Structure 1
Amino acid sequence: MTDRYMGSGNVAEGPYGPTGPIPAHLPDRLAITLWDFSWYTRAGAGDVYADLDAACADAASLGYNAIRICAAPLLLFGDLGLDDLARDLEIEGLGPAASGGYYGQRTRWYDTPGGYALDLYAHLEALFAAARRHGLVLILSSWEYQQSPAFAASPRWFDAIDAVPFEARYRLLAEAWDRMLAWVDAHGFRDLVALVEIHNEVEFSILPPLTDEAATEVARLGERHPDLLVTASYGKPPHLAMHRLPAGLGAAQCHVYSYGVLDALQSRIDIRSEGTEGFPNAELRALLRPDAPTLEEYGRPAEWKLRSTVVTDQMIYGYDWVDPDAWDAWLDAEYPRYAEVMHREIESRVIAIAEWARWQGVPALIGEGWVGYTPLHGGFEESETGRELAEHGIRTALGRGVWGVVLCSNAAPHHPMWQLREWQQRVNALVRGM
Structure 2
Amino acid sequence: MAYTPVPLPDHLPERLTITLWDFTWYTRTGPGEPFEDLDRAFTEAVDRGYNTIRICAMPFLIFGSGLSGEMEFGPLGGEYGQGTRWYDVKHRTRLDPRQHLLDLLRAARRHGVVVVLSSWEYQQSSSFAGDRQWFDALMAVEPEDRPTRLAEALADCCDLAEAEGLADVIAFVELHNEVQGGYLTDGLPGREPAVVELRERLERGLARFHERCPAVPVTVNYARVPLEAFRGIPENIDVGIFHPYVYGVLDDIVVGYGLRSTDGGFDEERARTDLLRPGAPSFDEWRPPASERWRQEATIVGKPEIYVHDWCDAEAWDRRLYEGYGAHRIAMLRTLDTWIAAAADLCAARGIPLVFGEGWIGYTPLSGSFEEGPIGAEFCRYAVARSAKAGAWGTLVCSNAAPHHPMWNDIALQIECNALFMVEKAHT
Shared topology, TM-score over 0.5? yes
Contact 2:275/2:313 (<8 A) preserved? yes
Match for 2:393 among 399, 403, 407?
403
**In structure 2, what is the Cα distance between the partners aligned to 1:171 and 1:317?**
35
Q: What displacement does 1:223 show?
A: 4.3
Query: Partner of 1:70 in structure 2?
Result: 56
Aligned residue for 2:395, secondary structure, equals: strand
Query: Partner of 1:234 in structure 2?
Result: 222
Query: Partner of 1:9 in structure 2?
Result: none
Alignment root-mean-square deviation, CA: 1.8
Cα shift readout 1:154-179 (whole Å, capped 9, x = no counterpart)? 00000011111111111111111121
Aligned residue for 1:274, secondary structure, equals: coil
Match for 2:279 among 291, 306, 309?
291
Aligned residue for 1:386, secondary structure, equals: helix
Contact 1:268/1:283 (<8 A) preserved? no
Percent identical residues = 43
Aligned residue for 2:242, secondary structure, equals: strand
Query: Partner of 1:260 in structure 2?
Result: 248
1:376-391 maps to which residues of 2 (within 5 A)? 376-391=366-381
Contact 1:269/1:284 (<8 A) preserved? no
Amino acid at match of 2:287: G
Amino acid at match of 1:202: V
Bigger shift: residues 366-375 or 263-272: 263-272
Amino acid at match of 1:324: A
Match for 2:66 among 81, 84, 87?
81
Contact 1:235/1:254 (<8 A) preserved? yes
Decide whether aligned partners of structure 1 residues 29 and 278 sit closer, same or farther in structure 2, where only a CA change above 3 A counts: closer
Query: Partner of 2:25 in structure 1?
Result: 39
Q: What displacement does 1:432 show?
A: 2.5
Q: TM-score, normalised by structure 2?
A: 0.91
Q: What displacement does 1:238 show?
A: 1.8
Aligned residue for 2:368, secondary structure, equals: coil
Aligned length: 407
Structure 1 residue 271 corresponds to structure 2 residue 253: no
What stretches of structure 2 of length at least 5 have no aligned partner? 186-196
Query: Partner of 1:415 in structure 2?
Result: 405
Q: TM-score, normalised by structure 1?
A: 0.90
Structure 1 residue 169 corresponds to structure 2 residue 169: no
Contact 2:315/2:368 (<8 A) preserved? yes
Decide whether aligned partners of structure 1 residues 179 and 325 sit closer, same or farther in structure 2, where only a CA change above 3 A counts: same
**In structure 1, what is the Cα distance between the partners aligned to 2:254 and 2:393?**
32
**In structure 1, what is the Cα distance between the partners aligned to 2:111 and 2:362?**
30
Aligned residue for 2:285, secondary structure, equals: helix
Amino acid at match of 2:83: R
**In structure 2, what is the Cα distance between the partners aligned to 1:203 and 1:382?**
28
Q: What displacement does 1:379 show?
A: 0.8
Match for 1:210 among 168, 192, 198?
198
1:141-220 maps to which residues of 2 (within 5 A)? 141-208=118-185, 209-220=197-208
Give 1 or 2 for the bigger CA radius of gyration.
1
Query: Partner of 1:128 in structure 2?
Result: 105
Amino acid at match of 1:372: G
**In structure 2, what is the Cα distance between the partners aligned to 1:294 and 1:118?**
36
Contact 1:218/1:249 (<8 A) preserved? yes
Q: What displacement does 1:343 show?
A: 0.4
Structure 1 residue 58 corresponds to structure 2 residue 44: yes
Contact 2:287/2:293 (<8 A) preserved? no
Aligned residue for 2:284, secondary structure, equals: helix
Bigger shift: residues 87-96 or 54-63: 87-96
Which structure would you say has the larger RCO, counting Cα contacts within 8 Å and 6 or more residues apart?
Answer: 1
Cα shift readout 1:103-137 (whole Å, capped 9, x = no counterpart)? 11110011112322112222211111111111100
What stretches of structure 1 of length at least 5 have no aligned partner? 1-18, 97-101
Decide whether aligned partners of structure 1 residues 277 and 351 sit closer, same or farther in structure 2, where only a CA change above 3 A counts: closer
Aligned residue for 2:184, secondary structure, equals: coil
